[in-house]
Amino acid sequence: MSTDLQNPIFHNEDAAREALEAVRSPEGAVCPHCGNVEQDKIAKAQGKAARPGLYNCAACNGQFTATVGTVFEGSKIPISKWWLAMHLLGLSK
Question: How many helices (H) does the chain have, and how many strands (E)?
Answer: 2, 3
In the prediction, which pLDDT does 59 show? Answer: 92
In the prediction, which pLDDT does 11 show? Answer: 92
**pLDDT at position 82 over 90:** yes
In the prediction, which pLDDT does 93 show? Answer: 80
**pLDDT at position 2 over 80:** no
Burial grade of 69 (CB within 10 A; 0-12, 13-18, 19 or more): exposed
Q: 15-64, pLDDT tens digit by residue?
A: 999 999 999 989 989 999 999 999 999 998 888 888 888 999 999 999 99
